[in-house]
Amino acid sequence: MNNVITPTLSPDRSGVGTDGPTPLLRIRGLETHFDTADGVVKAVDGVDLTVRPGTTMCLVGESGCGKSATARSILQVVESPGRIAGGEILWSPHGKDLVDLAKLDGESEQLRQIRGGDIGMVFQEPMASLSPLYTVGAQLMEVIRLHQDVTEDEARERAVGLLERVGIPNAAARLGSYPFQLSGGMCQRVMIAIALSCNPALLIADEPTTALDVTTQARILDLLRELQAEFGMAILFITHDLGVVAEIADEVTVMYLGKSVEQAPVDELFRAPKHPYTRALLQSIPDGRPNRQGQPLPTVAGMVPSPRNRPTGCTFRTRCSSAMPGICDQEVPPASMFGNDHLARCHLYSHEDATAIPEPTVAVTSRLEVTERTNPTPDEEAATLLEVRGLTKHYPLGGGMFRRSTGTVHAVDGVDLVIREGETLGLVGESGCGKTTLGRCIAGLLGPTSGEILFHRDPGHAVDLASLSSRQLKGLRTQIRTIFQDPFSSLNPRMTVEQIVGEPLQVNKLARGSELRDRVADMLRRVGIRPEYMRRYPHAFSGGERQRLNIARALITQPRLVIADEPVSALDVSIRAQILNLLDEIREEFNLTYLFISHDLSVVEHVSDRVAVMYLGKVAEQARTSDLYDRPLHPYTETLLDSIPVPDPQRRNRERERTRTDDLPDPANPPAGCLFHTRCPHVQERKCASDVPELRLLGTDHRAACHFAEELQLTGMSRSDPSE
């Protein structure tokens, strides 16, 4: 292990690194409680946090750990019925007196001046954080005039300047736009402009990029970095994504169940994490390290317990593989210091009996020995299971009685695709690129406008799904099944688990009565849900468990092809790793073929044999996973890959390729020539804006639709050094 420093015990040192410059914000022992009908929920239960002027502090942890409640407590904008129950929030901006924000009255003038004036805040859902009833200009100018004594004209001038500064093209005209007329990325830029309008000393960013596409996320992170260099404000950045942490943080605080468990400078945290929870989080990221592809992801066992059932002693002990009975369940671990500015709260470093175990290990879910794929890279010869030819799906815009249709959205526009028996084909692209529509057409949930979907039922016998009637399709629906994205809304809340999972068997008359119940029980056991829970309703399950139910429902008819539409996007990192491992296990067990749709390129890399990249309804590039990630041939793939936050703080200053704008062109009015030329960093005058590039075969099983694929030297995914 690197740099083992004998930890010094300092139970009462709640702030870390007090030797540096005066902290701007110092939170000590913060407790934020929610009074509910079932008792008090301690969402934040003793958090310590220090933010220094001009630096970025990242607050990480899974959902339900109290990150947002901590951030909102600072400005006392915790949602009702939350309240600050204890602790201090010491705020000492340069040149002003120290104030304890926790002691101020929530409606006081002093706090009101600080909100938006000294501390700006940016939220997770940019579109929902702006009122749809006012123009962005009105909302921006309102804040400017609230905190500064300027005339309306001066405010407008500043507003235009701010919008230009945050990278909104044609800023003066944009002042008159309503939030719903802008894309999510543009709205987040507006939110940043509002937060920065009064030159705050601290910017609180609560998951500001979580709801955005990866390309937009990268551009927003770039913008925040630039703005910090220019305005010199400190940033408190809340995220669950360790890749983002590595990109932007100076210091990191890891939260678990309402407590801060580790605090360290970002390099040190990634190089030498101390707390078992931090280590587990770091290892459960699918980061594409070459030796890990196709291997099961290490996961944090179980899930975050509800704050109502907070474990005694160390709160993490129920999921910790190094938990020491008699110690961890008895005493709350004190803070141990490693050097000057690295703090962790774990008995492994403080308890006298624990010195024997210096290195916490990470739990890996129990699993069969099968770690090698039976069919690691299906070659060209593998039988074709599904073939899509010239598939299009158009939606008319408008139309109706006395109304003309105003255009057509080309959701899917001439897609050719081959899925081979036993492989996993990844389908990636930004939101709005048509990947979900394509998946639904293949699943028979949407009728395509034109094209063929040939499903090879038996060798040498193919049926065209596109030409079948819905009655004929019904039988095939047991062969092609879908796992939906949102585990919360895709299960009928009024049906029991038995009814939900058994429904496909029942409607297709495949089983009934006790046989049906037995098969449901088997399936549930297989996906890791106890069959005793069959009579329960979906609300009794967590997000990860619901996704297991979704998987059980998809697999109960023993399908051959499973379309997994963003199956892990709504889940936390550790739960995501559990579900990905499950999908991989059952693939081998049931001999499945997957079409894996996702916007998350690292997940796709982890699970896929081959990958197709979609842009505006067309396939931009298609290749074997390693070829595509190492040697992309389409500039769009390159920018996507380069936008992935790399979980390695050493590499944040690399050269980057970025799209030239956040905004996808209007799919009802796609650009002429190459669809990507409006955003392409390598766009060339000749050809790109006029000629439509064909999807060409450029290498072994490697196709790309770019005029200059041979000439461009594109860089692949930025990887951590395999020798680490």
Partner 1 sequence: MLRYILRRILVLIPTVLAISLITFIIIQLPPGDYLTTVQASLAAAGDRPLDAAELARLNERYGLNDPWYIQYWKWISGIIFHGDFGDSFSYGRPVSDLVQERLPLTVTLSVLTLLFIWAISFPIGVYSALRQYSAGDYVFTFVGYLGLAVPNFLIALVLMWIGLTYFGQSVGGLFSPEYRDAPWSLAKFGDALAHLWIPVVIWGTAGTAGNIRILRANLLDEIRKPYVTAARARGIPSRRMTVKYPVRAAVNPFFSTIGWILPGLIAADAITSQVLNLNTTGPLLLNALMAQDMYLAGSVLLISAILVVIGTLISDLALAWLDPRVRFRY
**What separation in angstroms does the CA of 267 have from each of 221, 304, 325, 369, 509?**
18, 26, 32, 35, 58
Q: Which of residues 402-431 bind partner 1 (CB under 8 A)?
A: 402-403
Cβ closest to partner 1, residue 34 vs residue 455: 34
Question: Smallest distance, Å, CB 129 to partner 1?
Answer: 4
Restricted to residues 44-73, the positions that interact with partner 1 (CB under 8 A) are: 72
Q: Which of 143, 563, 592, 664 binds partner 1 (CB under 8 A)?
A: 143
CA distance 574 to 300: 5
Nearer to partner 1, 204 or 616 (CB): 204
Q: How far is the CB of 301 from partner 1 (least distance, A)?
A: 33
Exposed/middle/buried for 685, CB within 10 Å: 0-12, 13-18, 19+? exposed
Q: Contact 169/186 with Cβ under 8 angstroms?
A: no
Cβ proximity to partner 1: between 105 and 464 the closer is 105
**Comparing C-alpha atoms, which of 236, 254, 260 is closest to residue 44?**
260
- 107 vs 724 by CB, closer to partner 1: 107
Among 10, 54, 164, 178, binds partner 1 (CB under 8 A): 178
Nearest approach, Cβ of 124 to partner 1 (angstroms)? 8
Alpha-carbon gap, residue 141 to 283, rounded angstroms: 45
| Using rule CB under 8 A, residue 397 touches partner 1 | no
The minimum distance between CB 226 and partner 1, in angstroms, equals: 22
Contact 464, 450 (CB under 8 A): no
Position among 88, 125, 486, 663 found at the interface with partner 1 (CB under 8 A): 125
The helix (run of H) or strand (run of E) holding residue 573 is: helix 573-590
Question: How big is the site for partner 1, counted in residues (CB under 8 A)?
Answer: 34
Q: With left for phi above 0 and alpha for psi between -120 and 50, is residue 170 left, alpha or beta? A: left
The H or E element spanning position 237 is strand 234-239
For the CB of residue 537, give the shortest distance to partner 1 in the complex, in Å: 24
Ranges within 247-286 binding partner 1 (CB under 8 A): none
How many Cβ atoms sit within 10 Å of the Cβ of residue 339?
14
- Judged by beta carbon, residue 71 or residue 601, the one nearer partner 1 is 71
Query: Does residue 112 interact with partner 1 by CB under 8 A?
Result: yes
Residues 359-378 that bind partner 1 (CB under 8 A): none
Examine residue 191 and tell whether it contacts partner 1 (CB under 8 A): yes
Contacts of 120 (CB under 8 A, 6+ apart): 194, 195, 196, 197, 198, 200, 202, 203, 204, 233
The DSSP H or E segment spanning 28 is: strand 25-36
Choice between 123 and 455, CB closer to partner 1: 123
Cβ count near 492 (within 10 Å)? 12
Of the candidate residues 401, 653, 711, 721, the single one contacting partner 1 (CB under 8 A): 401
Within 431-470, the residues that bind partner 1 by CB under 8 A are none
93 lies in the site for partner 1, by CB under 8 A: no
Confirm or reject binding of residue 174 to partner 1 (CB under 8 A). Answer: no
What is the distance of C-alpha 91 from the center of its chain?
31
Residue 708 touches partner 1, criterion: CB under 8 A: no
Of 37 and 368, nearer to partner 1 (C-beta) is 37
- Interface residue with partner 1, options 23, 116, 645, 667 (CB under 8 A): 116
Of 143-151, 229-237, 459-467, 637-645, the segment contacting partner 1 by CB under 8 A is: 143-151
Sort residue 584 into left (φ over 0), alpha (ψ -120 to 50) or beta: alpha
Residue 188 burial (C-beta neighbours within 10 Å; 0-12, 13-18, 19+) = buried
Minimum distance from residue 237 beta carbon to partner 1 (Å): 16
Asked if 114 is part of the footprint of partner 1 (rule: CB under 8 A), the reply reads: yes
3-state secondary structure of 216: helix
Regarding 113 and contact with partner 1 (CB under 8 A), the answer is yes
494 near partner 1 (CB under 8 A) = no
Least distance from partner 1 to the Cβ atom of residue 212, Å: 15
The reply to whether 77 sits near partner 1 by the rule CB under 8 A is: yes
Q: Does the footprint of partner 1 cover residue 79 (CB under 8 A)? A: yes
Told to check if 115 binds partner 1 by CB under 8 A, we report yes
Q: How far is the CB of 12 from partner 1 (least distance, A)?
A: 33
Q: What is the per-residue DSSP string for 643-683?
A: HSPPS-GGGTTS-----S-SPPPPTTSPPSSSGGGGT-TT-
Q: What is d(CA 274, CA 263) in angstroms, rounded to the nearest whole number?
A: 10
Nearer to partner 1 (CB atom), residue 56 or residue 73: 73
Please tell me whether residue 107 binds partner 1 under the rule CB under 8 A.
yes
Which residues in 538-577 contact partner 1 (CB under 8 A)? none
| Whole-number Å distance between alpha carbons of 549 and 540 | 12
**Min dist. Cβ of residue 31 to partner 1 (A):** 20
Query: 345 phi and psi, to 5 degrees?
Result: -115, 95
Residue with Cβ nearer partner 1 (42 or 147): 147
User: Cα–chain-centroid distance for residue 175?
Assistant: 30
Cis omega (within 30 of 0) for bond into 305: no
Sheet of 119-122, strand order: 8-9, 335-338, 342-345, 259-265, 251-256, 56-60, 234-239, 202-206, 119-122
Among 37, 133, 229, 368, binds partner 1 (CB under 8 A): 133
Query: Which region among 6-14, 124-132, 269-277, 370-378 touches partner 1 (by CB under 8 A)?
Result: 124-132
Cβ-based neighbours of 109, under 8 Å, separated by 6 or more: none
**Which of the ranges 130-138, 374-382, 567-575, 665-673 carries the binding residues for partner 1, by CB under 8 A?**
130-138
Stretch that binds partner 1, among 75-83, 249-257, 267-275, 476-484 (CB under 8 A): 75-83
Report, in Å, the least distance between residue 123 CB and partner 1. 6
Phi then psi dihedrals of residue 261, to 5 deg: -105, -20
Least distance from partner 1 to the Cβ atom of residue 79, Å: 7
Angstrom CA distances, 183 to 156, 206, 280, 708, stand at 22, 19, 35, 30
Q: Is 387 in the site for partner 1 (CB under 8 A)?
A: no
Q: Does 37 bind partner 1 (CB under 8 A)?
A: no
- Measured CA to CA, the distance from residue 580 to residue 294 in angstroms comes to 11
Q: Which is nearer to partner 1, 178 or 395 (CB)?
A: 178
Q: Where along the sequence are the contacts to partner 1 (CB under 8 A)? A: 72, 75, 77, 79, 107, 112-117, 120-121, 123-125, 128-133, 142-143, 146-147, 178, 180-181, 191, 194, 401-403
